[in-house]
Amino acid sequence: MKPAPLHATLPHAGIHMATTEPIVRIHELTKVFRQGEINVTALNGISLDIEAGEFLTLMGPSGSGKSTLLHIIAGIDRPTGGSCRVQGRDIAGLSESELADWRNQNVGFVFQTFNLIPVLTAYENVELPLLLTRLSSRERRRLVTAALSMVGLEDRMRHLPRQLSGGQEQRVAIARALVTDPALVVADEPTGNLDAHSAAEVLEILRTLSGSGGKTVIMVTHDPKAAAYGRRSIHLEKGEFTAS
Ligand SMILES: Nc1ncnc2c1ncn2[C@@H]1O[C@H](COP(=O)(O)OP(=O)(O)OP(=O)(O)O)[C@@H](O)[C@H]1O
Ligand SMILES: [Mg+2]
């Protein structure tokens, strides 16, 4: 199903205006995982600017550091060295609770396996991030309804995840990622479990988000067809950028 135009449904669309400052600025970023006696260098001193409103895709072989980079940008993990500034702020300098608040307000996540709560309806899954805010139930209803119609699922609100197709589940997950109106949407292989048709629907939505939706979208993918939806593609190999 074709999603409704974003500007028609998402209440705060366009609030994150493009500026000349990159929304993400990564400088000589390093991540080393220590496992017993062994150090694994997942990211090896990489630098990167991401402009507001970009749709950036991240490719590279398994183990090249794609998810690690995404997690650091999203404030799920912290770097070992270098810096990661998002919206002008060094997020590694935030305390755990500041980081959690920052994530909730600024980042929406989309995962390969959807990660919906099986006992909650589509509506309730999308509402979850808003339960951490002070919004009234009426306000929440307005935002949840707008996010679900943005992904073309206003008629599936009362369905449980198992009553939805994989593509529909992922669209609910995108609505959940959007409902707080984050500046940044990060997606780790969002089409990895989908057939070609559902994948195309999901990718169109992500592209719309980064275009008229004004969001910055960063997507990890193994699929060159999916990567082609992005405006820029970056390749990682053994924790370093290589020419694509
Ligand atoms: N929590 C962790 N503890 C130890 N090592 C880790 C951890 N997370 C990742 N690594 C290691 O860091 C490297 C990069 O992992 P990462 O998950 O970023 O790769 P990826 O590019 O996302 O791979 P894939 O395409 O398979 O998802 C790998 O060698 C991995 O084993
Ligand atoms: Mg990964």
Are 221 and 227 in contact by the 8 Å Cβ rule? The answer is yes
Confidence of residue 213 (pLDDT cuts 50, 70, 90): confident
- Ligand 1 contact, 64 CB (< 6 A): yes
Q: Which domains does the chain have, with CATH numbers?
A: 6-242 (3.40.50.300)
- Ligand 1 contact, 39 CB (< 6 A): no
Confidence of residue 72 (pLDDT cuts 50, 70, 90): very high
Question: How many whole angstroms from 42 Cα to the centroid of ligand 1?
Answer: 6
pTM: 0.90
HSE-up of residue 113 (Cα within 13 Å, Cβ side): 3
Nearest CA to ligand 1 atom 1: 33
Question: How many whole angstroms from 170 Cα to the centroid of ligand 2?
Answer: 17
| Burial (0-12, 13-18, 19+ Cβ within 10 Å), 108 | buried
pLDDT digit string, tens, across residues 26-69: 999 999 999 899 999 999 999 999 999 999 999 999 999 999 99
pLDDT digit string, tens, across residues 159-204: 999 999 999 999 999 999 999 999 999 999 999 999 999 999 999 9
Buried-state track 52-86, b at ≥16 Cβ within 10 A, e below 16: bbbbbbbbbeeebbbbbbbbbbbbebebbebebbb
Angle, helices 196-210/166-178, rounded to nearest 10 degrees: 20
Ligand nearest to the CA of 64: 1
